[in-house]
Amino acid sequence: MMKHTLGPLLLGTSLLALPASAEELKIGILFGFTGPIESLTPPMADGAELAMKEVSDSGLLLDGATVSSVRGDSTCVDASAATAAAERLVTVDRIVALIGADCSGVATAVLNNVAVPNNILMISPSATTPALSSDSDKGLFFRTAPSDARQGELLARVLIDRGIKAVAVTYTNNDYGKGFADSFDAAYKAAGGTVTLVAPHDDGKADYSAEVSALSVAGGEALVVLGYSDQGGNGIIRASLDSGSFDRFAVGDGMHSEKLMSDFGPDLQIFGTVPWTVGDGSEKFTAYAAAAGKNADSSFVRESYDAAALILLAIQQAGDPGKAHEHVMEVANAPGEKIYPGELAKGLQILKDGGDVDYVGGSDVEMIGNGESAGSYREFENKGGKFETVRMLGAE
Amino acid sequence: MTDILNGLVHLTSMLILPGLAYGSQLALGALGVTLIFGVLRFSSFAHAEGLSLGTALTILITLWLQGMGVSLGVLPTALLGMLLAMPLLALVFIGTDRALYRHFRRINARPEVFMIVSAGVMLIMNGVIRLVIGTDGRDFEDGERFIVTARGFRDWSGLAEPLVLKTSQMLTIGLAVLAMACLFRFLNRTRAGRSMRAYADNRNLALLSGVDPDRIVRLTWVLVAVLSVLAGVLFGLDKGYRPFVYQQLLLPMFAAAVVGGLGSPVGAVVGSMIVAFSELALTFAWKKALTYLLPAGLAPDGMMQLLSTEYKFAVSFLILVIVLLVRPAGLYGKAAR
């Protein structure tokens, strides 16, 4: 029974896929629709399709081409399943570009096994591992989420800009903490700072005085705490204050909690970095998505919309989907007219007329390095018991 | 001269005071372990949970006392709550004994069976603690937190290194010494204490001499409850209460009791100090102390830290293994019975 239906079915899909003319462009969406983040992916895919619909409706892409999406399941964790799904999208559905994959591991597998061999532009909205920053992608891979290493670089810059030249670092003993500490260490040393000691701490312990004692012997003008405010990070600060070892703390996003000041008093000297979205792009996206009846507040929805928008703008700039990857950086960054969510038609028109665009989108897109978003962070500092923004940290 | 003072202050503040406090907390716990082993003849895996439950009860009573407006001024209110928690925990222990251990005593079960039963008790108590107080950490220390603060000492002495003495450290050391003095006096000088030791030494002979075994068992649990509440609350005051951190104390407590010789109260105290100071000294970064204390030319470059602090728990294991290999009966233990 299966045999008889399968043959015509396969034939049917390949026949349908054949007329991939300039009139209809297919873009793959490879997210984990099953697996550990299956609750996040439907709004993400909706976000990406929102941009495609906007472009199709405008009729301004190339010679009035329409865009449609083909969804594939990356499973988030199974690299071989994700590779097979991507393979199918490329060979059977004839996609011209790929949005995804969502999770870092499967994104790496798909990039190396499918995108690079087939010369397919690939933009991931949510893969954040620093490993994807390496330049083995033949210029085909971009991401609209910042690398995990980014915050380490920014925190290093914050300390250097404050004139703090020697610090001790302690991080929570897991992938997040280790990666953060590594990128901070490298960036801080490169900027001329001295790291006296990098020591891990385990969460959920009763007492951190031994850790703090070692850190204080190493010394430093401030203690960098890359942990969690309700876990070991709290214990580290308590033991530091109690023993008089450190009174100035630089922290990352895991420690961005005003409860620290209610625990240790409003005079606590603490500052740090945290991902932060402000500005027109974010508000405009919320309004735009709401008008379309979509969920804008779920994680990585903005980044997904931006990934799709960047692909389409780059195709328009290149004039040929096969060369789109050469133009992603151009449309993402200055110079040019700023393009916000819901203004893709305007962007397409400008490009058609030979102008320049600087895509801002819902997540303040600014591409740095090897094609990854600079992200949007704020430097915060405790002023009288409340965290206040010192400045926004951008791409420069 | 200033260098030597700085070095001594640094060692006192970072190593000696924390070591004494931690050692005292361990000692109170290890005394419980050794009493249960000596009199009831088994290793109680539920002992750490007992500490945790005793502390949880104390915290709840303390909250109630604070709600009534009771306060001890500069001292933590928990000291008062502790006194009320002790009889409660004793009732819990005696109840557990009636429900479980007594049955196995009557059928003359082997020590291994008791051990497994105590593991079951540990799991049940673990669940009860979750029900009673939840899983979050709590700070229940009120009153003055410091006797000597870092800043205060620096300003007063003009030294570069701060000396810190926490109220909880002082209380721990003081109360532990007091409790141990009372315990030893009780065991050596009172009739009840002597019959307890007789029962521990030779059960049959003691029974023949007319010692009431049920009374001895009850008495033991009461003593263990008092010691457990003391150890748990002092540890919690010093380091903050987290219900499941106490499980991490089980290994050091047993290591301490074994080092001293299971069944020997003096051994438990000495063993605790050995374990506490080994844990701290092996993971202590000696660089600063040596730089102060050695002549300028000999100052070390590295951190002079033998083990990274994550290996703290490995130290108890190491001590346990070495003692079991070299001197299985422990320092003060009798040769194998």
The domain segmentation of chain A, as residue ranges, is 23-145+279-373, 149-267
- Residue B110 is assigned to a structural domain of this protein: yes
Any idea what the CATH number is for the domain that residue B118 is in?
Answer: 1.10.3470
Partners of A124 in beta bridges: A143
Task: Give yes or no for residue A392 having a pLDDT over 50.
Answer: yes
Average of per-residue pLDDT across A354-372: 87
- Residue B123 is assigned to a structural domain of this protein: yes
Mutate to test the interface with B, among A178, A208, A217, A259 (most CBs of B within 10 A): A217
Q: Could you tell me the fold of the domain covering A149-267?
A: Rossmann fold (3.40.50)
| Contact flag A207-B238 (C-beta cutoff 8 Å) | yes
Partners of A383 in beta bridges: A386
Nearest CA distance, B299 vs chain A (angstrom): 13
| Contact flag B240-A206 (C-beta cutoff 8 Å) | yes
Nearest CA distance, A205 vs chain B (angstrom): 6
Q: Which of A387, A390, A386 is nearest to A378 (CA)?
A: A390
Which of A199, A200, A217 minimises the CB distance to B287? Answer: A217
At A184, is the secondary structure helix, strand, or coil?
helix
| Contact flag A218-B303 (C-beta cutoff 8 Å) | yes
Tokens read off for A239:
């033991």
Contact in structure between A43 and A301 (CB atoms under 8 Å): yes
Higher pLDDT, A168 or A210: A168
A317-323 long-range contacts, CB within 8 A, separation 24+: A317/A351, A319/A62, A321/A25, A321/A96, A321/A97, A321/A121, A322/A96, A322/A119
Tell whether omega for the bond before B213 is within 30 degrees of 0, i.e. cis: no
Task: Give yes or no for residue A256 having a pLDDT over 50.
Answer: yes
pLDDT in the model for residue A1:
43
- pLDDT tens figures, B5-41: 889 998 998 899 999 999 999 999 999 999 999 999 8
At A116, is the secondary structure helix, strand, or coil?
helix
pLDDT in the model for residue A12:
46
Range of the domain at B105: 2-246
- pLDDT tens figures, B291-318: 888 887 777 877 888 888 888 888 988 9
Task: Give yes or no for residue A67 having a pLDDT over 90.
Answer: yes
| Contact flag A197-B284 (C-beta cutoff 8 Å) | no
Average of per-residue pLDDT across A333-353: 90
Q: What is the pTM of this model?
A: 0.76
- pLDDT tens figures, A71-102: 999 988 899 999 999 999 999 999 999 998 88
- Residue B226 is assigned to a structural domain of this protein: yes
pLDDT in the model for residue A22:
53
Average of per-residue pLDDT across A336-347: 90
Q: What mean pLDDT value characterizes chain B?
A: 90
Which of B235, B248, B303 minimises the CB distance to A217? Answer: B303
Higher pLDDT, A36 or B218: B218
3-state secondary structure chain B: CHHHHHHHHHHHHHHHHHHHHHHHHHHHHHHHHHHHHHHHCCCCCCHHHHHHHHHHHHHHHHHHHHHCCCCECCECCHHHHHHHHHHHHHHHHHHHHHHHHHHHHHCCCCHHHHHHHHHHHHHHHHHHHHHHHCCCCECCCCCCCEEECHHHHHHHHCCCCCCCEEHHHHHHHHHHHHHHHHHHHHHHHCHHHHHHHHHHHCHHHHHHCCCCHHHHHHHHHHHHHHHHHHHHHHHHHHHCECCCCCHHHHHHHHHHHHHHCCCCHHHHHHHHHHHHHHHHHHHCECHHHHHHHCCHHHCCCCCCECCCHHHHHHHHHHHHHHHHHHCCCCCCCCCCC
Partners of B277 in beta bridges: none
Tokens read off for B103:
């049955």
Task: Give yes or no for residue A325 having a pLDDT over 50.
Answer: yes
Task: Give yes or no for residue A395 having a pLDDT over 70.
Answer: no
Higher pLDDT, B336 or B203: B203
Tokens read off for B162:
């701060």
- Taking CA–CA distances from A231, the nearest residue in chain B reads B137
Strands A121-124 and A141-143: parallel
pLDDT in the model for residue B26:
95
Q: Which residue type does A331 have?
A: V
- pLDDT tens figures, B234-277: 999 988 888 888 888 999 999 999 999 988 889 999 999 999 99
Nearest CA distance, B337 vs chain A (angstrom): 38
Report the domain count for chain B.
Answer: 1
Average of per-residue pLDDT across A276-296: 84
Q: Let me know the angle formed at the C-alpha of B317 by B314 and B319, rounded to the nearest 5 degrees.
A: 110
- Residue B274 is assigned to a structural domain of this protein: no
Is residue B334 within 8 angstroms of chain A, CB to CB?
no
* ipTM of the prediction: 0.80
- Residue B285 is assigned to a structural domain of this protein: no
Average of per-residue pLDDT across B98-116: 92
Q: Do domains A23-145+279-373 and A149-267 have the same CATH topology?
A: yes
Whole-Å CA distances, B52 to A231, A295, B247:
19, 46, 8
Question: How many interface pairs between A and B have CB atoms less than 8 angstroms apart?
Answer: 67
User: CB neighbours (10 Å) of residue B112?
Assistant: 10
Name the percent of chain A lying above pLDDT 70.
94
Q: Let me know the angle formed at the C-alpha of B115 by B112 and B121, rounded to the nearest 5 degrees.
A: 150
Contacts of A199 in chain B (CB under 8 A): 308-309
Nearest CA distance, B263 vs chain A (angstrom): 28
pLDDT in the model for residue A178:
85
| Contact flag A214-B242 (C-beta cutoff 8 Å) | no
| Contact flag B309-A214 (C-beta cutoff 8 Å) | yes
> What stretch of H or E contains A59?
none
Is residue B222 within 8 angstroms of chain A, CB to CB?
no
Is residue B54 within 8 angstroms of chain A, CB to CB?
no
Tell whether omega for the bond before B160 is within 30 degrees of 0, i.e. cis: no
Residue B157 — pLDDT band, cuts 50, 70, 90? Answer: confident
Q: Which of A225, A222, A212, A235 is nearest to A255 (CA)?
A: A225
| Contact flag A214-B240 (C-beta cutoff 8 Å) | no
The four Cα atoms A300, A302, A307, A312 give a dihedral, to 10 degrees, of 160
Q: What mean pLDDT value characterizes chain A?
A: 86
Nearest CA distance, A158 vs chain B (angstrom): 27
Average of per-residue pLDDT across A328-334: 89
User: Residue A50 and residue B113: Cα distance in Å, rounded?
Assistant: 66
Is residue B14 within 8 angstroms of chain A, CB to CB?
yes
Contacts of A242 in chain B (CB under 8 A): 146, 150, 164, 166
Task: Give yes or no for residue A396 having a pLDDT over 80.
Answer: no
Nearest CA distance, B309 vs chain A (angstrom): 6
Contact in structure between A321 and A315 (CB atoms under 8 Å): yes
Contacts of A218 in chain B (CB under 8 A): 285, 287, 303
Superfamily (CATH) of domain A23-145+279-373: Response regulator (3.40.50.2300)
Whole-Å CA distances, B108 to A148, A219, B78, B105, B214:
61, 59, 40, 5, 15
- pLDDT tens figures, B158-204: 888 889 899 999 999 999 999 999 999 999 999 999 999 999 888 88
Nearest CA distance, A151 vs chain B (angstrom): 26
pLDDT in the model for residue B175:
94
- pLDDT tens figures, A19-33: 444 578 999 999 999
| Contact flag B14-A244 (C-beta cutoff 8 Å) | no
Task: Give yes or no for residue A11 having a pLDDT over 70.
Answer: no
Contacts of B151 in chain A (CB under 8 A): 244
User: Residue B124 and residue B130: Cα distance in Å, rounded?
Assistant: 10
Contacts of A202 in chain B (CB under 8 A): 310
Contacts of A201 in chain B (CB under 8 A): 309
Whole-Å CA distances, A56 to A43, A61, A63, A65, B15:
20, 7, 11, 7, 71
